[in-house]
Amino acid sequence: MIVDAQIAIIASGAAVWNAMTDIEGATNIIKGILGIEIIEKPSTGLVGLRWRETRMLFGKPATVEKWITDAIEGKFYTTRAESDGYLFLATTSIAENGNGSVTLTTSHDSLPQTLAARLSSPMMLLFKGVARKALLQDLQDIKTAVERTPT
């Protein structure tokens, strides 16, 4: 199941990139994140950054380990997470609009890996709207943080 969301932000690409890649400070930017625990930091760049992220999920705190598998500085990064028989791949990217704004986009793909996950996949479709709403809120939180901070 693929869920996409995007938002326009009136700011420089560099300002948006800094906010979207501030994993350690994500709890100060994205309201839905309760906690971040960095597990591994690469010596340079983003690829290899690994962390545990805690969010509220169905009224309870849920923690998942994520890591960055691919990135191009100032353009995008891709994360991977595994939980409950699913592989979750997410790409967050920015595109300059040429008018002092950028478009911030996120795309999440949930891929069932086990028989139990495959059997529950149809139920995931019921949560597609909920997932999209959560992604849009994360993007809105980044927008709010970047647009209120002078560049």
We report the CATH number of the domain holding residue 124 as: 3.30.530.20
C-alpha 123: how far from its chain's center? 22
Average pLDDT score over residue span 20-38: 95
Which DSSP category does 8 fall into? E
Structural domain contains residue 45? no
State which residues form the domain around 76: 2-31+69-148
Structural domain contains residue 54? no
Structural domain contains residue 52? no
C-alpha 18: how far from its chain's center? 14
Give the residue, 117 or 53, on which the prediction is more confident.
53
Give the Å distances, CA to CA, from 136 to 6, 88, 107, 117, 140: 7, 17, 11, 25, 6
Give bridge partners of residue 136 from the DSSP assignment.
none
- Helix count (H) and strand count (E) of the chain? 4, 7
User: For all residues of the chain together, what is the average pLDDT?
Assistant: 91
Yes or no: say if 139 and 6 are a contact pair by the CB < 8 Å rule: yes
Assign residue 84 a region (left: φ > 0; alpha: ψ between -120 and 50; beta: otherwise).
left
Structural domain contains residue 44? no
Structural domain contains residue 79? yes
Average pLDDT score over residue span 86-95: 95
Q: What is the pTM of this model?
A: 0.89
Model confidence at 150, pLDDT cuts 50, 70, 90, reads low
Structural domain contains residue 134? yes
Average pLDDT score over residue span 85-105: 93
Give the total number of structural domains in the chain. Answer: 1
Structural domain contains residue 50? no
Average pLDDT score over residue span 4-28: 95
Q: What is the pLDDT of residues 109-123, one digit of tens each?
A: 988 888 887 777 776
